[in-house]
Amino acid sequence: MRLHTLTVTAFGPFAGTERVDFDRLGRGGLFLIHGPTGAGKTSVLDAVCFALYGGVPGARNKDRSPKSDHSPPDLEPEVTLEFTVRGRRIRIIRKPRWERPKKRGVGTVSQNQKVVVSELVEGAWQGVTTRPDEAGQFVGDLLGLTLTQFCQIVMLPQGDFAQFLRARSDDRRKSLERIFNTRVFRDVEEWLGGHTRKLEREVRSAEERVREVAGRIAEVCGSTAPNDPEELTAWAAELAVVTAATARDAEAITEAAALERGRAREALSAGRTLRDRRDRLAAARERVALLEEHRPWRAEAEERLISAERTDAVTPFLRARDQRRTELEKAEMTAVDRLSLVGGWSGVDTTGMVDAEPLRAAERIRHDELARLDLLREDAERRRSLHRELTGLDRELTTLRAEAARTRERGLTLPARVETITGELERARERAVLLDSARLALEAAERRGNAVVEVERLDDEVARAEERRRVAVDAAQEARDRAQDLRERRIGHMAAELASGLTEGSPCAVCGATAHPSPALPSEEGLVSAEEERRAQAGAESAATRRAEAENDLVSLRERRSAALERTEGRDAAATAEEVDTAGRALVDAREAVAEVRRHEEELSQARTELERVRSREGELDRRESELLARRESATAEHERLTALLDRARGRDAGLDERVARVTGEAELLREAAEAVDRRARAAEELRSAEVEVTEAMAEASFADETEVRSAVLEESERRGLRARVRDFDDQWAAARARLSDPELMAAEAEEAPDLVYLETAAVAAERAADRTVAWRGGLVDRARRAAELRIALADRLSGSEPVLRRYAVAQGLSTLAAGTSPDNTDSVRLSAYVLAARLEQVVAAANDRLATMSDGRYELRYTVDKAAGDGRARSAGGLGMRVVDSWTGAERDPATLSGGETFFSSLALALGLGDVATAEAGGTEIDTLFVDEGFGTLDEDTLEEVLDVLDRLRDGGRAVGVVSHVADLRQRVTTRLTVRKSSSGSRVEHHG
């Protein structure tokens, strides 16, 4: 995985938009992320993590939204990261959750996290997903790393690994579990422990169930259960046999008691039967005597029923006569009442009236008048319709005139409104035409501002280039002087150089002599060889080349500065800032004017349209008013004509309807009065006929007068009751006489009276004895049955507990072995610690490869299962111990005894080794960009060089290594760097080298 670019906006300490070019930083392999404490160095790494995983490492992930407090409240935070992994170029744009100010009113609105994942395919970005959950899954599958693993492998946190180096086994286990995802083995330990505890509860439950059955057997049989479970089966079998034999003996005794109880019951039943027959005979004799005393009543009742039947021929005529009399009285009252109502206004004399014809004549007069009034109803309805029409016309005229007044008033104000809008439109157009010039002015001001910034930056670079040129000139001069000096020395000692090659008998290369009596000798400085001269000359030429390059760089920078200075057009930073601000305000004003032009044009169009509509509406309202006035005049004339006609017809009444109602009421009263007079005459005649019929009926039924008839009358219910009592008397008399002749009762009188007290006492005694034997036998039989059932239940419980006991034994062995508490686990190492120990051994082996170089072969990490000083007392504690072997002394040391520098490069080696192992386990993803965060301040100069050499070797294969530190010396050793500068308005980043 190689990082290319990172762009952050309003993120962490960065108030604006900052871009980090990892391709530029990693071009040399090793680069430095430098800045003062709190500037935001670690925030650069947090932004990488957030872009990939939507979170930041450690406790910072629990903080609020990463939006910068220095940025404007409405500036949306965003992180964009481009990277390549497994040959695929990926871009992730992620926006965190943040609180946006409301566009209207006060307060904020929550904005959820957003993400856009794209892949560069054939030169074009293609979308992968926009869902945060799918983005997390995509990154996890692509890298094969979780956030925790990524932070431990790609961003090596030295502080965390220093703690890891000194940690207890249990704390080291937690760290390794987070990185290597071996929680499954920890889960196995916990599952085995929980499974064992569950089986232990089942074993206790099974034993409790066995003890419960044994206790029930002991309770039933009155015995005590043995303590040894193996003796329970024989004990229960013996008790079952004994209780069964006792139950069989009780059965015979119970049968004998039942026979005796049966004989006692039979004797008591016979005695009670005899006593009952004697009592029934005596009661029959008493009943006959009593009925004999009431026989005269029976004759009187018979005579009363006969008289009542004779009244049936008379009572209907009596009831009919009474009904006629009642009807006459009612008719008289009604006639008097109706005549009193019509006597004052009808013109008819009602005193002593017998004939109703005058009343009917007056009624006919009223009906004739109603017929005439009915002909005028249509005129009355027409007048009411005209009245409603006139009311509606008046209301419509009022509404119409009000609308006409408003329309005329609107027609007077609209021309002024059109003129006002036209003026505002012209003024806005004058300002809007300045839009292009304002935009060009702003662009020019921004170019001058950028040029001023570039001049300031180039001033720094020119100063550094002048320093590099000075150093290069001095170095070139020094190299040239050294080469010249060596050349002159070699020329001066050329004779000695030639003499050094002479041998006796060989000719001299100068004179050809074979004898060399006095060869030249070198001076104290010694000879200068041709190779030395060549190397010095090559060094001088190389130094001259570097001087020329430095001079060329300086010239190029000065030319760039001159060009940038020319682009400033003589402005400084303050002037360009003011120009940008002024041009920006002018551009904003021009854009506002463009918007105003569009708004005023729309308002002007609306005002002109409304003016035309108002003028058209005024004409329509005038025409409508004329039509309504004509209709009102015609309706008024017709209404007045109908009013005069109806006034004549209604007379003294309030209206035509009132007169119709009054005449109708009088006709109805006259009709009712005539009918009442007729009904009174008919009722008197019917009463006289009924009186004659009553007299004739009494004579035929042999009744002297009406009083005798009424005294003999019986209602039907009274007759039914009297007949029922007569029949009941006859039935009782016959039954009593029949009982006196019953042979069983007569025979019972001849026998001796039984002693029921004695018989009942004997029966009760036999009953109780039988019940006691039955209950005794039932208890023994039930005890035998329960003993047999419980014996079977005990056997079932014992056999049912055996599988649980076997499973518990297996589970307990595995659980204690996995937990490190089993005697078979001699090292007392938990299963999860054992698995992590294998990973830790791999990590230690990988770490020692680098630690040997960093410590010059002095230190070596060693894994041990022994407990450290901070581990607990439990047998399962430990298993992940670490020691440091000092090859200079041959002693093993606790990591806590290392110095600060020793701890740094030891933890660095451990972090690098852990990264190698975790990367291999995650699928072998190549990590081409690494970060080492802090820890360099504890190193001396030599150790720092060794550590940097190790980091420099990490660049093999094109890997880029970023060192995060605030140590100033690193800026001299690592020239390619990213500087994070902090200020009160937020942090900025700068690239160097």
- CA torsion 162→168→171→173, rounded to 10°? 100
Instruction: Tell me which residue of 713, 746, 591, 918 sits closest to 277, measured CA to CA.
Output: 746
Position 51 scores a pLDDT of 93
Q: Could you tell me which residue, 777 or 142, shows the higher pLDDT? A: 142
> Considering the domain boundaries, does residue 677 fall inside one?
no
Mean pLDDT confidence for 258-279? 78
Domain count, the chain: 4
Give the integer Cα–Cα distance in Å for 655 and 514: 178
* DSSP calls for 636-697: HHHHHHHHHHHHHHHTTSSSHHHHHHHHHHHHHHHHHHHHHHHHHHHHHHHHHHHHHHHHHH
Ranking 682-696, 715-729, 860-874, 910-924 by mean pLDDT, the lowest is 860-874
Mean pLDDT confidence for 257-270? 79
Residue 906 and residue 941 in one domain? no
> Considering the domain boundaries, does residue 947 fall inside one?
yes
Mean predicted lDDT score pLDDT of the chain: 79
User: Are 925 and 144 in contact, with CB atoms under 8 Å apart?
Assistant: yes
Residue 811 and residue 902 in one domain? no
Residue 909 and residue 967 in one domain? no
Q: In this structure, what CATH number is given to the domain that contains residue 587?
A: 1.10.287
Residue 275 and residue 420 in one domain? no
Position 874 scores a pLDDT of 45
Mean pLDDT confidence for 833-851? 81
Instruction: Specify burial of residue 987 (Cβ count, 10 A radius: 0-12, 13-18, 19+).
Output: buried
Q: Could you tell me which residue, 702 or 872, shows the higher pLDDT? A: 702
Residue 465 and residue 545 in one domain? yes
Position 513 scores a pLDDT of 58
Instruction: Tell me which residue of 982, 987, 971 sits closest to 32, measured CA to CA.
Output: 971
> Considering the domain boundaries, does residue 897 fall inside one?
yes
Query: Has residue 924 got a pLDDT over 60?
Result: no
Give the integer Cα–Cα distance in Å for 284 and 508: 191
Residues 6+ apart with CB under 8 A from 878: 169, 828, 829, 833, 865, 866, 867, 868, 871
pLDDT in tens, 569-602: 878 888 888 888 888 888 888 888 888 888 888 8
Q: Could you tell me which residue, 505 or 610, shows the higher pLDDT? A: 610
Residue 762 and residue 907 in one domain? no
Sign of CA dihedral 379, 385, 388, 392: negative
List Cα–Cα distances, 494 to 488, 489, 514, 518, 524, in angstroms.
10, 8, 19, 15, 15
Residues 6+ apart with CB under 8 A from 871: 168, 169, 170, 877, 878, 881
Residue 428 and residue 446 in one domain? yes
Give the integer Cα–Cα distance in Å for 256 and 858: 109
Ranking 114-128, 157-171, 623-637, 662-676 by mean pLDDT, the lowest is 157-171
Query: Has residue 845 got a pLDDT over 60?
Result: yes
Give the integer Cα–Cα distance in Å for 38 and 782: 90
Give the integer Cα–Cα distance in Å for 826 and 812: 17
Query: Has residue 441 got a pLDDT over 80?
Result: yes
| Helix segments in 350-434, DSSP class H | 357-374, 377-432
Position 510 scores a pLDDT of 55
Q: How many helices (H) and strands (E) does the chain have?
A: 25, 17
Two structure tokens written together for 281: 């005979």
Q: Which residue has tokens 């329309």?
A: 407
> Considering the domain boundaries, does residue 425 fall inside one?
yes
Last residue of a domain, one of 619, 645, 671: 645
Sign of CA dihedral 307, 308, 314, 318: positive
Give the integer Cα–Cα distance in Å for 714 and 555: 154
Give the integer Cα–Cα distance in Å for 417 and 241: 122
The total of other beta-carbon atoms located within 10 Å of residue 192's CB is 20
Per-residue three-class SS string for 462-517: HHHHHHHHHHHHHHHHHHHHHHHHHHHHHHHCHHHHHHCCCCCCCCCCCCCCCCCC
Domain of 397 in residue numbering reads as 393-493+528-645
Give the highest mean pLDDT range of 260-264, 408-412, 473-477, 568-572.
473-477
- CA torsion 711→715→721→724, rounded to 10°? 90
Kindly state the percentage of the chain with pLDDT values over 90.
Answer: 6
Instruction: Tell me which residue of 667, 700, 782 sits closest to 659, measured CA to CA.
Output: 667
Q: Could you tell me which residue, 500 or 980, shows the higher pLDDT? A: 980
Q: Which residue has tokens 């690193």?
A: 970
* DSSP calls for 832-875: HHHHHHHHHHHHHHHHHHHHHHHTTT-EEEEEE-SPPTTS-SST
Residue 868 and residue 949 in one domain? no
Q: How confident is the model at residue 958 (pLDDT cuts 50, 70, 90)?
A: low
> Considering the domain boundaries, does residue 508 fall inside one?
no
Q: What is the pTM of this model?
A: 0.40
Last residue of a domain, one of 922, 939, 961: 922
> Considering the domain boundaries, does residue 506 fall inside one?
no
Residue 834 and residue 915 in one domain? yes
Last residue of a domain, one of 784, 819, 854: 819
Ranking 444-448, 602-606, 657-661 by mean pLDDT, the lowest is 657-661
Q: In this structure, what CATH number is given to the domain that contains residue 58?
A: 3.40.50.300
DSSP 77: P
Give the integer Cα–Cα distance in Å for 463 and 458: 8
Give the integer Cα–Cα distance in Å for 832 and 838: 10
Question: Which amino acid is present at 357?
Answer: E
Question: Which amino acid is present at 274?
Answer: L
DSSP 31: E
Question: Which amino acid is present at 845?
Answer: A
User: Are 701 and 316 in contact, with CB atoms under 8 Å apart?
Assistant: no
Query: Has residue 682 got a pLDDT over 70?
Result: yes
Residues 6+ apart with CB under 8 A from 334: 676, 679, 680
User: Are 390 and 632 in contact, with CB atoms under 8 Å apart?
Assistant: yes
Mean pLDDT confidence for 717-721? 83
Give the integer Cα–Cα distance in Å for 425 and 220: 113
Residue 250, SS3 per DSSP: helix
Kindly state the percentage of the chain with pLDDT values over 70.
Answer: 86
Residue 408 and residue 547 in one domain? yes
Q: Could you tell me which residue, 987 or 253, shows the higher pLDDT? A: 987
Going by their DSSP bridges, the two strands 881-886 and 891-893 should be labelled as antiparallel
Give the integer Cα–Cα distance in Å for 894 and 882: 8
> Considering the domain boundaries, does residue 686 fall inside one?
no
Residue 346, SS3 per DSSP: coil
Query: Has residue 63 got a pLDDT over 70?
Result: no
User: Are 936 and 904 in contact, with CB atoms under 8 Å apart?
Assistant: yes
Q: Could you tell me which residue, 958 or 630, shows the higher pLDDT? A: 630
pLDDT in tens, 731-768: 887 887 777 777 777 777 777 777 777 777 887 887 88
> Considering the domain boundaries, does residue 554 fall inside one?
yes
Residue 7 and residue 136 in one domain? yes
Residue 191 and residue 177 in one domain? no
Can you state the angle between helices 756-819 and 831-854, rounded to 10 degrees? 20
Instruction: Specify burial of residue 35 (Cβ count, 10 A radius: 0-12, 13-18, 19+).
Output: buried
